[in-house]
Amino acid sequence: MLNKVRRYLYRYFLERNGVDSLGKALLWIVCIVFIITMLLKGIAKIVFVLILWALIMYMYFRIFSKNLPKRRAENARYEGKIRYFKTRMKQGKDYRFYNCPSCGTHLRVPKGAGKITITCSKCGHKFDRKA
């Protein structure tokens, strides 16, 4: 009997998404919101409890989802944003970041150069900024 249940659960979870890095991040967010909820009173507590339940339901929806390509795409977008944020934080000590006013391209300029004219590498637009 135990082997039968074990095989059923194995097959059930085999075609599910499971816990990925976005799922782990959601779990941490749920823990933080839970701690905040315990510290609040009144209407704010009710609002945070609703947020907490919505996060928990979304987390379990992702874990038990059978739509693997969509969940993997969500996770890839999340990991891309985290990677972008980490590189920006590392490079933030040595560089300033600007967006081209013409095309919106992200441009990186070394810090401490004073007032400079920046030329966009994509569209060639020139603009002045302090580095």
pLDDT in tens, 10-40: 888 888 888 899 999 999 999 999 999 999 9
Specify whether the CB–CB gap between 114 and 131 falls below 8 A. Answer: yes
Per-position pLDDT tens, the chain of length 131? 778 888 888 888 888 888 899 999 999 999 999 999 999 999 999 999 999 999 999 999 999 999 999 999 999 999 999 999 998 889 888 898 888 888 888 888 888 888 888 888 888 888 888 87
Q: Which amino acid is at 101?
A: P
Cα–Cα distances in Å, from 43 out to 37, 40, 52, 55, 126? 11, 9, 14, 19, 52
Question: Looking at residue 34, what is its pLDDT?
Answer: 95
User: Is the entire prediction scored with pTM above 0.75?
Assistant: no
For strands 126-130 and 115-119, give the pairing.
antiparallel
Question: Looking at residue 102, what is its pLDDT?
Answer: 83
